[in-house]
Amino acid sequence: MTQLGSKGQSEIVGLMVIVVILILMGMFYLGFSNIADSKSSVGERRGLEAENALKSVMQLDLEGLGNIEGLVVECGNGNCSGLESTLIEVYSVVLRPGESYKFSAYIDGVEIYEYGACNLGLVSSYPFPKNGLFYEVKFKLCG
């Protein structure tokens, strides 16, 4: 009787172990399949945001200052103060809180100006010819 009782008890313990293992396996399966399927279009929107943040600001009409293209050309001639103050003013309004950026300008591939701090982010580019030179502005959006 005692032998039968202890045998039954050990079988129940074994059964419980199997049950626990099955439940854990089920939970792992559900958890992992949920993670694997979790997709988002945030990355696509970030790319769009980076591209539009540059394009729209480059087209922007600045009262009494022309536009950013003109300020980049002026920066190429050695005066970058107008460009920098405009970038600070515009992007502080246009970008969302917590977003950072890096704005850099090139003439024929040589960097003439860089502003902002941003390491990992999406880069957009805006090339334009002016006075026989090839200008390019790059904008990196982080955060």
Partner 1 sequence: MKKGQVHVTETILVVFIVLIILIIGVVGYYRFSFEKNKSLEGELSERAATIMLAKAVNLDELACGDGDCVDAGKFLPFRRVLGEDLGRFRSIFGRKKIVFRQIYPVLDGSVLEVECDTANYIQMDYPNNCGKWTVYEFNPDNEYGSKISTIVSLYYPEFDRYVVGRLEIDHYDTIRK
Of 2 and 77, nearer to partner 1 (C-beta) is: 2
Indicate whether 88 belongs to the interface with partner 1 (CB under 8 A): no
Comparing CB distances to partner 1, the nearer of 49 and 136 is 49
Q: Do 59 and 72 meet the contact criterion of CB atoms below 8 Å apart?
A: no
Restricted to residues 99-138, the positions that interact with partner 1 (CB under 8 A) are none
Q: Which residues contact 62 (CB under 8 A, 6 or more apart)?
A: 68, 71, 86
Q: Nearest to residue 138, comparing CAs of 51, 9, 71, 56? A: 51
* Least spacing, CB of residue 78 vs partner 1, in Å: 27
Token code pair at residue 131: 């006075």
In the list 36, 64, 78, 93, the residue contacting partner 1 (rule: CB under 8 A) is 93
Tell me which stretch binds partner 1 (CB under 8 A): 38-46, 73-81, 101-109, 110-118.
38-46
- In the list 2, 36, 37, 129, the residue contacting partner 1 (rule: CB under 8 A) is 37
**55 touching partner 1, by CB under 8 A:** yes
> Which range of residues in 60-68, 76-84, 102-110, 115-123 is near partner 1 by CB under 8 A?
60-68
Cα separation, 108 vs 129, in Å, equals 10
**Type of residue numbered 119:** N
Q: What angle do CA 128, 141, 143 make, to 5 degrees?
A: 175
What is the distance between the alpha carbons of residues 50 and 78, in angstroms, rounded to a whole number? 27
**Angle value at C-alpha 66, between 65 and 68, nearest 5 degrees:** 95
Interaction of residue 56 with partner 1, rule CB under 8 A? yes
Question: Footprint of partner 1 on this chain (CB under 8 A)?
Answer: 1, 4, 8, 11-12, 15, 19, 22-23, 26, 30, 34, 37-41, 44-45, 48-49, 52-53, 55-57, 59-61, 63, 67, 90, 93-94
